[in-house]
Amino acid sequence: MERRALLGLALVATAAASTPARASSSGGAAPSADTYFRLPVVTGSIPRPGGRRGVLSVEVGVDVPDAALRTRAQQSAPRLRAAYNTAVQRFATGLRPGAAPNIDQLAADLQAATNATLGRAGARVLLGTVMAL
């Protein structure tokens, strides 16, 4: 089995195990393997101290409980990847050299890109590893 697919399932299992009360109180269900799908790693170029360039690498998955919207999201995967690439590159360009990335802002940017690409809310972006090298 592919190692990255296992990591995606582990992310879903960890999120489901660590937030059962939150999922119940918010009215939404916890992510499952049926509603979650993973996209390829998204990268952006970041400035490094001394004028060099680095890489911001982001693992992204989408949880879509609504079956009709999930089908639309899976069919729109190339458009989602393009929107995520744009959002990550814009975010990476705004980072100061040597500064840690603001993951909450990155997640908000990716969520906005998801909602704009799919045409409505209902899909939730889940971040895996965010690495700045």
Residues 64-117 pLDDT 10s: 999 999 999 999 999 999 999 999 999 999 988 888 889 999 999 999 999 999
**Residue of 50, 128, 58 lying closest to 91 (CA atoms):** 58
Mean pLDDT score, 27-41 = 77
**β-bridge mates for residue 119, sequence order:** none
Quote the tokens at residue 85: 């690439």
Q: What is the DSSP string of 26-60?
A: HSPPPP-TTTEEE---EEEEEE-GGG-EEEEEEEE
Mean pLDDT score, 33-45 = 90
Torsion of CA 80, 86, 89, 94, to 10 degrees: -120
**β-bridge mates for residue 53, sequence order:** 47
Model confidence, pTM: 0.73
**Residue of 76, 85, 59, 58 lying closest to 123 (CA atoms):** 76
Taken in order of first residue, the domains within the chain and their CATH numbers are 3-132 (3.30.479)
For the chain, give the longest Cα–Cα distance: 49
Do residues 31 and 63 make contact, with C-beta atoms less than 8 angstroms apart?
Answer: yes
Q: Residue type at 60?
A: V
**Residue of 55, 59, 58 lying closest to 132 (CA atoms):** 55
In the predicted structure, residue 16 carries a pLDDT above the cut 60 = no
Residue 129 neighbours by CB distance under 10 Å: 10
